[in-house]
Amino acid sequence: MSPDSADSTGSAAYRVWALPGIPEVRPGDDLAKLIAASGSALADGDVLLVTSKIVSKAEGRIVEAADREAAIDAETVRVVARRGALRIVENRQGLVMAAAGVDASNTPAGTVLLLPEDPDASARAIREGLRDTLGVTVGVVVTDTFGRPWRAGLTDVAIGAAGVRVLDDLRGGTDAYGNPLSATVVATADELAAAGDLVKGKAAGRPVAVVRGLSHTVTGVRDGAGNGDAADSGDSGTDEGARALVRSARDDMFRLGTSEAVREAVAQRRTVRAFTGEPVDPGAVRRAVAAAVTAPAPHHTTPWRFVLLESPASRTALLDAMRDAWIADLRRDGKSEESIAKRVRRGDVLRNAPYLAVPCLVMDGSHTYGDARRDGAEREMFVVAMGAGVQNFLVALAGERLGSAWVSSTMFCRDVVREVLGLPAGWDPMGAVAIGHPAQEPGARTGRDAEAFVEVR
């Protein structure tokens, strides 16, 4: 097979080269026309790999910035990790990268270069411009340089794409030995970007490369018989774009990992009151318990116990007994039956959860002083340690992608809880935690100004 050709199922060989003759790009330049004027004969099915810097320059994304850090702040949505002056952040395009993609190189002194506002739209504009100018149907990938977790060195990846199948989903197929492929999704656009980086060069003034021989990765290309690609009639507006390469927060197993990410986990810990019917992994709850028992405690004690209600029968027995005790208390308080029914309904968050945990405080190892003041302070120390353990537990559950709601109700009927669950007399139930998969994403949290909670002396 020729390195300049490919069949409909893919090619065993391809060719990649950098385009010569691309001049210095200035704001307002038409990149498609500059590429067309370079003198290279482009063909249907070629893939163009365009460095994001020239896209940013053409789109006027050069800004005055005496302080690059201020520009990074403006482009940052979330700090993922920080070490010294280096910041890994999520930027406004949804990309997680160093310095939000703000670049102070290859731009005049006193200015910085921001990433394209919408790299997928930029790729579509170049693709459509080349179709209009040269009459060719090509794929376009806008690239930028990334570092990668767990790997040394940098490589180019796709941040924008048009007319390219950015992901090749092989799940459902088999390998050469007949083994099923259940998790293989290839990041084709990133592989193309890396191939182009080998020939473009970082400082050689060759910002555009071409890959030929992989036309099966390009949408809207007609074969030799004149048949169009069924997946794309040529309207590049149907492309997913490189946005499809950005893993969602829910599916990102490495979203939480540094001190900044731990703070993010704490911020993302939310009270969830509606759950799906999806079962809860008991192992995930036990891992959260392991996090809970790392909390500080007085006198080198371990005051935490977690009773895990994994069977529906255990949950129903406890909640029915608690409901009856609560109704009896409310009737003694003279509440109306209507008021009682309304209050009891508030406990539905526990009844509707597929999993419950009851944290219990034990005072083993506590000191007795013989006077109310010091004995009261001793118990308070243990209660504070219990609260720290419960918070660890809730945050760890959030890290396991589980929703939770801490409800104080077991504290009002401890004898009932101990009896139903068969707990020792010295175990004090400290509320109950409803656990499950959230039925919907929580709404935005109301912001709180930390300074409002601070007094400095």
Between the CA atoms of 377, 378, 383 and 386, what dihedral angle is there, to the nearest 10 degrees? 150
Residue 47 domain-assigned? Answer: yes
pLDDT score, position 260: 54
- Residue 195 sits in the same domain as residue 304: no
Please give the pLDDT value at position 205: 75
d(CA 105, CA 22): 18
Instruction: Write the DSSP string, 298-341.
Output: GGG---EEEEEE-SHHHHHHHHHHHHHHHHHHHHHTT--HHHHH
Give the chain's largest Cα–Cα span.
96
Does 278 fall in a domain? yes
241 and 278 housed in the same domain: no
CA atoms within 13 A on the CB side of 417: 23
User: Burial, 311: exposed, middle or buried (Cβ in 10 Å; 0-12, 13-18, 19+)?
Assistant: exposed
Do 215 and 295 share a domain, yes or no? no
Instruction: Give the residues of the chain that fall short of pLDDT 70.
Output: 1-11, 201-204, 222-239, 255-265, 267
Query: Looking at the DSSP assignment, which residues form a beta bridge with residue 97?
Result: 89
Q: pLDDT tens digits for 201-233? A: 665 679 999 999 999 999 988 654 444 453 444
Last residue of a domain, one of 194, 216, 251: 251
pTM over 0.85: no
If one counts the domains in the chain, the total is 2
Pairing of strands 139-148, 47-51: parallel
Which pLDDT belongs to residue 441?
81
> Does 298 lie in the same domain as 441?
yes
Is 88 inside any structural domain? Answer: no
pLDDT digits (tens, 9 = 90+) for 403-415: 999 999 899 999 9
Alpha helix positions (H), 95-151: 119-134
**One domain, residues 375 and 441:** yes
Residue 80 included in any domain: no
Does residue 364 form part of some domain? yes
Q: Which value, in Å, is the radius of gyration of the alpha carbons in the chain?
A: 30
Contacts of 48 (CB under 8 A, 6+ apart): 35, 42, 126, 130, 138, 139, 140, 141, 208, 209, 210
Task: Give residue 211's domain range.
Answer: 15-61+116-251
Task: Indicate if 366 and 433 belong to the same structural domain.
Answer: yes
Q: Is the separation of the CB atoms in 220 and 163 below 8 Å?
A: yes
Pairing assessment for the beta strands 62-64 and 111-113 based on DSSP bridges = antiparallel
